[in-house]
Structure 1
Amino acid sequence: MNLEQRIKAFESLGVFFKQFSTKKIKKTEDSELNNMFFDAFKMQIDRAQEFNGWFTKENVLKSFESWAEALTLENLNKWTSAYNFDDSKTPKAIAIIMAGNIPLVGFHDFLCVLISGNNAVVKLSSNDKHFLPLVAKYLEYYNPYFKNKIIFTTDKLPEFEAVIATGSNNTARYFEHYFGKHPNIIRKNRNSVAILTGKETQEELEGLGTDIFQYFGLGCRSVSKIYVPKNYNFDLIFNALYKYNDIINYKKYENNYDYNKAVYLMSMFNILENGFVMLKEDESFASPIATMFYEYYSDFSVLTEMLNSKSEQIQCIACNENVVNFVKLGKTQYPKLWNYADNVDTIDFLTKL
């Protein structure tokens, strides 16, 4: 199977995913394997919250929307054209240790391994173990070539030649000890931040709300901290974020909001809050659920220089200023295929094995 055929398979998957959106779930005639897979995916989407309380139907569908938008022929061709793939090489077995914080969070690593012609040995997170096997079955029926390319395991990993592992700072130390002798990509905790200038429109600040609240703020691309100029008028952001107030009606989120608010009040911290999100001045990047940290800045260039010096802790920076590598407000949760986690080029890593 050559690169063009692999691209066609994932393009087909993207067309299939388009049937599942937050606006509607509707079977179309565009997807050739609908009779076999549409109902199975729909059932799994409906039941996702039973297995992981944070996987609401809306958030699962947002993940499908994001991948449907990414897996177009144009995007796949643009992405892969930057590399030299050698399909004559013997495929390598690549172990993928997946996280489970948001739906399909490990899909990009899975995609990279298969699109590069290698074999995926996948250890799923117990928090997200149902969707990817369905995706694998879809690919196998689309092209039987994939049948010997994908292995899932819940036990000890079978033999592998390289590893891509994602986890917390604590698990990363374990990964480094266990996988250090193999070629590896090991990812740790990262958070995303936003820089506001005070010139943002209501629409742009509402976009920031998507960056903050989508997936309940559990993703590494979720904005957990904002930088604001001195004397910033927080009414601007509270007014814009009000459209997301329904989030407090979700019990798990509400429990976190109540608990963290009680901790802050008992600790005599000064917080700003509007009934569903709290703003706390703090130098840290990682904020608890239902809390967003903020910090003042006086010089934009000094701030960006500081953030660059701490790039190993930051996944992405959202800002509407025209700066290279910044992500527009409202777009952090919709990465392109060539936006790699931790800025480590996974395809480059795989093609050089």
Structure 2
Amino acid sequence: MIKILDEENPELFIRAKNQNNWFTPIACASAFKGIIQMLDLEELQNWLSNYDVKTQKSPKSIGVLMAGNIPSVGFHDLMCVLLSGHKAAVKLSTSDSVLMLWIIERLIEANKGLEDFISVEPMLKNKDAYIATGSDNSSRYFDYYFGKYPHIIRKNRTSIAVLTGEETEEEVLNLGKDIFTYFGLGCRNVSKIYVKDKIDLQSLLGYLETYNWVADHHKYFNNYEYNKSIYLVNKTPHLDNGFVLLKEDSQLVSPIAVLYYEVYDTDKDLKNKLERDREKIQCIVGGGQNYIPFGAAQYPSVSDYADGVDTMSFLTQL
């Protein structure tokens, strides 16, 4: 499985970009790099040792509705279904069918036996269980249709970063990866930062100028110009470095090209804020012991489950 993925595949990445303009070759390569890291043999073995994985005498058919917000985002669910011994009935996102079909084809080439375990279907009816990823709105639709079956239904989530003011230059620069990779479209993208002092925001904007390449993407820059015009017309206070806007806001999910921030007074105050919003937070980036290191948010380990729901436990207990 590890050998079939190449993080540099120009022709494939061009086709993916033609399907979905957000999927630039750099974004596709980043996604493939994440998958390759996830498929480290030792890490896979350690991960699977935590589950009672058996050869299924009667494998169940698992309907997997994949999202398409970032490249090949549905791979982890597909992998979990196959490694649990079940059959994956996949409904691809129209925004991410090029990459996922290519991955599925390579998997079957590597192991012909998987032909009987992977199917791509336009409609997922009468499956034994379902895994569906979407928005808060689509989750209600999924629950209506699949709620009577065993299921995992995921909703909107986002990620945040905690800054103490003691970060190194390297850490702040790495934070930019967590913010701008995939143009901020993923649930592991940092859309809000918590700071102790507003004075740190100006220097942050300066460090983030390293990522001004995002402004070369016309869709991203259109979002930047639109949000900037709204703030200017409404006289909304904000900071601006020419391609990203910093706005003080209590909400977690910011628009594309906007980074929300909120000031916290004490660690206890911050802890209470994060606990209040924990169902909406995918991961927390920062220098703290329990935080994901700066720059690592987009490269989750195989055991970092979306929405914090253990997919393998769900599948192995069916």
Same fold (TM over 0.5): yes
Matching residue of 1:142: 110
Query: 1-side partners of 2:206 and 2:160: how far apart?
Result: 20
SS in 1 for 2:263: strand
Query: 1-side partners of 2:57 and 2:12: how far apart?
Result: 37
Pick which of 184-193 and 235-244 moved more.
235-244
**2:138 is equivalent to residue 171 of structure 1:** yes
- Deviation at residue 88 of structure 1 after TM alignment: 4.2
**2:297 is equivalent to residue 336 of structure 1:** no
Query: Which of 161, 169, 174 is the equivalent residue of 2:128?
Result: 161
1:345 is aligned with what amino acid? D
1:79 is aligned with what amino acid? W
SS in 2 for 1:160: coil
Query: 1-side partners of 2:260 and 2:250: how far apart?
Result: 8
Query: Which of 95, 107, 123 is the equivalent residue of 1:127?
Result: 95
For residues 18-40 of structure 1, the C-alpha deviation after alignment (integer angstroms, 9 at most, x for no partner) is x32xxxx3xxxxxxxxxxxxxxx
Matching residue of 1:327: 292
SS in 2 for 1:130: helix
Matching residue of 1:15: 3
Matching residue of 2:277: 310
2:4 is aligned with what amino acid? F
Matching residue of 1:266: 233
Matching residue of 1:38: none
2:83 is aligned with what amino acid? I
Query: 1-side partners of 2:54 and 2:133: how far apart?
Result: 27
- CA contact under 8 A between 1:14 and 1:69: conserved in structure 2? no
- Deviation at residue 304 of structure 1 after TM alignment: 1.9
Work out the number of aligned pairs and report it.
318
1:122 is aligned with what amino acid? V
Matching residue of 1:255: 222
1:286 is aligned with what amino acid? V
Query: 1-side partners of 2:277 and 2:95: how far apart?
Result: 30
Matching residue of 2:15: 47
Query: 1-side partners of 2:2 and 2:240: how far apart?
Result: 40
- Using CA pairs under 8 Å that are at least 6 residues apart, name the structure with larger relative contact order, 1 or 2: 2
Query: 2-side partners of 1:201 and 1:15: how far apart?
Result: 37
Query: 2-side partners of 1:199 and 1:140: how far apart?
Result: 49
Unaligned runs of 5+ in 2: none
Query: Which of 37, 41, 58 is the equivalent residue of 1:73?
Result: 41
- CA contact under 8 A between 2:12 and 2:99: conserved in structure 1? yes
**2:187 is equivalent to residue 220 of structure 1:** yes
TM-score w.r.t. the length of structure 2 is 0.97
Matching residue of 2:27: 59
**2:167 is equivalent to residue 194 of structure 1:** no
Query: 2-side partners of 1:231 and 1:45: how far apart?
Result: 40
- Deviation at residue 308 of structure 1 after TM alignment: 2.0
Query: Which of 91, 94, 119 is the equivalent residue of 1:151?
Result: 119
Unaligned runs of 5+ in 1: 1-12, 26-40
**2:76 is equivalent to residue 108 of structure 1:** yes
TM-score w.r.t. the length of structure 1 is 0.88
Query: 2-side partners of 1:243 and 1:223: how far apart?
Result: 17
What percent identity do the matched residue pairs reach? 45
For residues 217-240 of structure 1, the C-alpha deviation after alignment (integer angstroms, 9 at most, x for no partner) is 000000000000034422321121
Matching residue of 1:237: 204
